[in-house]
Structure 1
Amino acid sequence: MEYEIFNLGDVSLQSGVTLPNAFLAYKTYGILNEKKDNVIVYPTAFGDQHVQNEWLIGSGMVLDPEKYFIIVPNLLGNGLSSSPSNTPPPYDRANFPQVTVYDNVMLQHRLITEKFGIQKIALVVGWSMGGIQAFQWGASYPEMVERIAPFAGIAKPWPHTFVVLNGMKAALLSAVGFDSSKLNQLTFADMRAVGRVYAGWGLSHAFYREELYREMGFDSLEDFVAGVWEDSFMKMDPHNVLTMLWTGQHADISANSSYNGDFDKALKSIKALACIMPGSTDLFCTPDDNEYEAKLIPNAVFKPIPSIWGHFAGRGINSADNHFIDDNLKHLLARSTNG
């Protein structure tokens, strides 16, 4: 897996903790043009790394490397950027500091300005927690970001979203009897239950009822849950997962000194042209939540993805969903931001 590292030095986080020798792992696709105005930023989602974003990148796709310079920064805590699994003591494993989406975007801004000298971003796009980062980019840097396109991502964890993430966290903490002093005893095997919990939220009722997992090569529900959900989660470091869950639960675009918790004000401050695409059957980043947000963003269009793939309508698996996202992003990039 090829990627590059941007060293950030000692970073002061929103929590007040200084993370020493912090770094972002990132990958670029395409060439930055002379005017530096062909830039697309595509942050990663919970548990994902840059390779999981590549389904939307390619010749003829909306994120065409022959046309755009695409930067995919990896989320803090995902195992490639600074994470519990790759940070030396005293901030390793359960001792890794709490990082916010605001922290992530601030550090991505440093990458984009310090490393590349970029002043304008044509589009910030992302799925799920990548979508929250797209909203945060629009709120934190309204003059810099021309367009945002979150899909199956919300601008804060609404109460129900928080509860879902809490359930995933509880499944992991139960392995050590909810004893925070024993967190360093957690193993990859303890992630099995987290995968089982998420299996009920990632996809819709209709997906399971219509047994679409059979199209993915699974003969039974049990095979699917074990082969996809257990298997994918048991490959994740439990401390990285706890870090990313905390980031997701506290990912409010207004939770910073610019907006002081005024969520509506943060949304109204986004100047970017926005295309907001929830999955129509998403169970925990719901279209209702996104519709509220879209109404407050001055230049937003609300385009639910008509799909029974739930949250995973934005994951690049189902071709009809992929075409819908690709088409809407092409329309968004064709819209002028002048005037």
Structure 2
Amino acid sequence: MSHPPLQPGWIDAPHRHAALGRFALESGESIDDLRVSYVVHGDPDDRSKPVILGLCAIGSTHHRLDFLIGAGRAFDPSRFTIVVVDALGNGLSSSPSNSATQPRSRFPRFTIGDMVSSQKRLLEHLRIDALHTVAGASMGGMQALQWGVQFAGFMSHIVALVPMAKTAPWAQAMNHAGRLALANANPEMARGGAATDWSAWIGVMHVFANRTPQRFASDAAQAGSVDAWLKQRTQWWSAQQYDPLDWTYQSWAYDAHDVGHTPGFGGDTARALASITARTMIGVPRLDLYNPVEDGEWAARQIPGSTLLRLPYDSGHMAASEADPAAAQFLNVEIGRFIGEA
């Protein structure tokens, strides 16, 4: 896809691409010509500042953490160099929608571990051999925990917001419902080229998964009615130009996620988490109807010395975003304090 229209609060940093050659996947298949899209906040040639790696959520881009980036915010470019990477399958990095040699359903399935490996290859390309912080929300938080297991010792801090270390059956069911909504509304999805009907998917993923009843009641009231909100949200999302097959591929990676599958841990999720040596903060809201709060709490208990940050807000999964201004301000303060610790 082309870059979506710039939204309020997004930072218009130069977009960069790295062509990294053939890339072997955990499945044994390969991406013919790996391309990783990313942005850098700060001077990429200034090696005097510690580096933060930002990761994006399912169906999002390198703008996902923009609410944490900027002067006086947790990720201040005057103190850090911030590299934010587009995950495999988001339409900017290598994806079913943009592959010349493996288009659409010929694109191989990938995992969250593959996303992390592609990011590590990018850092090698950029000659970055250590990170201060790896940070992400939702699927980005899941990638952050995978980083801590897969490349222990490479970073000193991890910030994982609304994550899971192993995808819960509830989240898998939400993704399954989202895929069915897309497939039933768009029977030619695998071939591409037709306008996408997102309306049913919006109900599943943007209402039931991402909001709480309290938050949706507020949003619907501001729009004038439930129908008005759904129509406005569908129109807005359609304008983002996201490809439904890309989201489907990312959702398969989401469903299969388990840090215990990292080589050396034999499927033992708790033991994998216990191997994390970075100082780790996990943030969870009061209620999350996508990634259950209990899964984040459990992950925090397995990681030695981890910090569990409770977000006292009612926006649900969206509490880890700019969509809740109070939560965003709270996170900037708490994350800034956390990553400033030695």
Query: TM-score, with normalisation over the residues of structure 1?
Result: 0.91
1:224 Cα deviation after fit: 1.2
Q: 2:183 aligns with which of 173, 188, 191?
A: 173
Q: 1:101 aligns with which of 112, 117, 130?
A: 112
User: Is 1:23–2:29 an aligned residue pair?
Assistant: no
1:223 is matched with 228
Identity %: 27
Structure 2 residue aligned with 1:202: 210
What residue in structure 2 maps to residue 113 of structure 1? 124
Which one of 323, 329, 333 corresponds to residue 327 of structure 1?
333
Structure 1 contact 194–233 (Cα < 8 Å) conserved: no
Q: How far apart are the structure 2 equivalents of 1:158 and 1:111?
A: 30
Counterpart-to-counterpart distance in 2, 1:142 and 1:305 = 27
- RMSD of Structure 2 on Structure 1 (CA): 2.0
1:287 equivalent in structure 2? 293
- What letter is aligned with 2:231? A
Q: Give the corresponding residue for 1:317.
A: 323
Deviation at 1:230, TM superposition (A): 5.7
**What's the secondary structure of 1:278's corresponding residue?**
strand
The secondary structure found in structure 1 opposite 2:155 is coil
Change in 2 beyond 3 A, CA 1:208/1:176: closer
- C-alpha spacing 1:332/1:263, structure 2 compared with 1 (3 Å): same
The 8 Å contact of residues 24 and 30 in structure 2, kept in 1 or not, is answered as yes
Moved more, 91-100 or 46-55: 46-55
Change in CA separation of 1:33 and 1:22 when aligned onto 2, cut-off 3 Å:
closer
Q: Offset of 1:35 from its aligned partner? A: 5.4
Give 2:163's aligned residue.
Answer: 153
Selected match of 2:146 from 127, 133, 136: 136
Per the alignment, residue 79 of structure 2 pairs with 67
Q: What amino acid sits opposite 1:73 in the alignment?
A: V
- Aligned pair in 2 of structure 1 residues 318, 185: CA closer, same or farther (>3 Å)? closer
- What CA distance in whole angstroms lies between the structure 1 residues aligned with 2:115 and 2:216? 35
Q: Which residue of the partner structure matches residue 274 of structure 1? A: 280
Contact persistence 1:188–1:237 (CA under 8 A): no
Q: Which of 246, 265, 286 is the equivalent residue of 1:240? A: 246
Asked whether 1:301 is paired with 2:307, we answer: yes
Which residue of 2 is the match for residue 92 of structure 1? 103
Say if 1:326 and 1:269 are closer, same or farther in 2 by CA, change over 3 A: same
Other structure's SS at 1:190 match: coil
8 A contact 2:59–2:242 mirrored in 1:
yes
Counterpart-to-counterpart distance in 2, 1:176 and 1:33: 45
In structure 1, what is the Cα distance between the partners aligned to 2:110 and 2:254? 10
Is 1:52 aligned to residue 64 of structure 2? yes
Amino acid at match of 2:16: E
Paired with 1:12 and 1:123, the residues of 2 have a C-alpha distance of: 26
1:294 & 1:94 partners in 2: Cα distance?
Answer: 37
Q: Which residue of 2 aligns with 1:184?
A: 191
How far off its partner does 1:299 sit? Answer: 2.0
For 2:132 and 2:220, the matched residues in 1 are separated by 37
CA deviations on 1:274-310 (whole Å, 9 max, x unpaired) are 1110122211212211111100000211112111111
Q: Secondary structure at the match of 2:131?
A: coil
Alpha-carbon distance, 1:204 to partner: 0.2
Using the size of structure 2 for normalisation, the TM-score is 0.90
Q: 1:118 to 1:174 in 2, by over 3 A?
A: same
Cα displacement (A) at 1:214: 4.0
Q: Is the contact made by 1:15 and 1:99 (CA closer than 8 Å) also made in structure 2?
A: yes
Change (3 A) 1:37 1:142: farther
Contact kept, 8 Å, 2:285 with 2:311, in 1: the verdict is yes
- Partner secondary structure for residue 271 of structure 1: coil
2:47 maps to 1:42: no
Query: Aligned equivalents of 2:66 and 2:46: distance in 1?
Result: 25
Conservation of the 8 A alpha-carbon contact between 2:260 and 2:266: yes
1:130-154 deviation digits (Å, cap 9, x = unpaired):
1111111111111111111111222
Cα offset, 1:316, TM superposition: 1.1
Residues 84, 310 of structure 1: CA spacing in aligned structure 2 closer, same or farther, 3 A cutoff?
Answer: same
